Amino acid sequence: MSTSPEDEQSQIAPQESHEAHPSLEEIVQEAGLRLEDLDPEVVLRLQLLHEKSPTLVDEYHALQMEKKLFGYYAEKEPARAYSEGERRTIEVGTLFTDIGKTGPKAARRETQECITEIFGIDKNIDPQTPVLKFLEEHFPEDHPQRVVLLGEAGVKPDMTMRQFWNMHSGWTLEIVSAGGIPPEAIPAAALHHMVEGMNPQGILGEDDRFTRYYGENVAFDRAEKMVIMLDKYDAARRRGSKTHEEAIAYLRTHLGNNTHFKDDEEFLKLIDDIAVVLKDHPGYAN
């Protein structure tokens, strides 16, 4: 299994996520949406994420980096410029990648809060730590009740934290599939850990085409790949405390560990472009 920025939490102390703290409305607007147009249940989950974790602020900064890349292609490589539909898929997909960190769609509010609080912890975490031990260490006063709440979501106390973390991609798919999200953006949100092999409900076939209907989006392509690479880049910079050069090296190694995608020209080109365009991107400590 390849090392992820979450794994690196066991080795490197996290830094402050961001200098600015945009409002939820500003974050949603950055993705080209309006809060009032979203499903009320989706809004409640976004509010929960924003209140209890830095997740949506991370997405906000990823959206800004995407716009920087869009501008680069439009100016320097117009033949590769992203269409309006691709940009919308990327931006909306980015906003919702981690909405699953509030738990499964059927989770009641108390369970959602419990799961969101766990994902929001920024202290060093060994990914092989059992969930029960994690709860005992970080929630000593009420960990028995949290075990029950997590059980409602299918999380067993003897699972590792890595197994727990991996569940959020499937939960994201459940939520965005029922939340009035543009269908073209659903795969971009749900497959953001595809390089690690996270293919919730098998929505991506072996031929890289989707096994379900997502409007005009029929195959895994550069829109989904940009969401994945910028998610990994930002996590390496912010949670892994890597320099730009170290983060780019991490992206190459991480991709190289996936036998299906290691020679993918679109992924490789995107890493090269991120290396150039984001070299002096502000907001990182190093």
Average pLDDT over residues 105-133: 94
- All structural domains of the chain: 7-277 (1.10.3210)
Grade residue 123 by pLDDT with cuts at 50, 70 and 90: low
Which amino acid, 109?
R
Determine contact, residues 249/237, Cβ cutoff 8 Å: no
Grade residue 283 by pLDDT with cuts at 50, 70 and 90: confident
Reduced to 3 states (helix: H, G, I; strand: E, B; else coil), residue 20 is: coil
The alpha-helical segments, DSSP class H, found in the chain are 24-30, 40-52, 55-76, 84-96, 109-119, 131-138, 143-152, 161-166, 168-178, 186-190, 222-238, 244-256, 265-277
Quote the tokens at residue 93: 């997909």
In this prediction, residue 1 carries a pLDDT of 39
Question: 166 or 284: which carries more pLDDT confidence?
Answer: 166
Is the predicted pLDDT of residue 15 greater than 80, yes or no?
A: no
Determine contact, residues 183/210, Cβ cutoff 8 Å: no
pLDDT tens for each residue of 207-225:
999 999 999 999 999 999 9
Q: Which residues contact 263 (CB under 8 A, 6 or more apart)?
A: none
Beta bridge partners of 143: none
Distances (CA, A) of 164 to 40, 52, 128, 155: 26, 18, 10, 7
pLDDT tens for each residue of 263-273:
999 999 999 99
Which DSSP symbol is given to 160? B
Is the predicted pLDDT of residue 13 greater than 90, yes or no?
A: no
pLDDT tens for each residue of 54-87:
999 999 999 999 999 999 999 999 999 999 999 9
pLDDT tens for each residue of 170-200:
999 999 999 789 999 999 999 999 999 999 9
Grade residue 6 by pLDDT with cuts at 50, 70 and 90: very low
State the sign of the Cα–Cα–Cα–Cα dihedral 18, 21, 22, 28. Answer: positive
Half-sphere exposure of 21 (CA within 13 A, CB side): 7
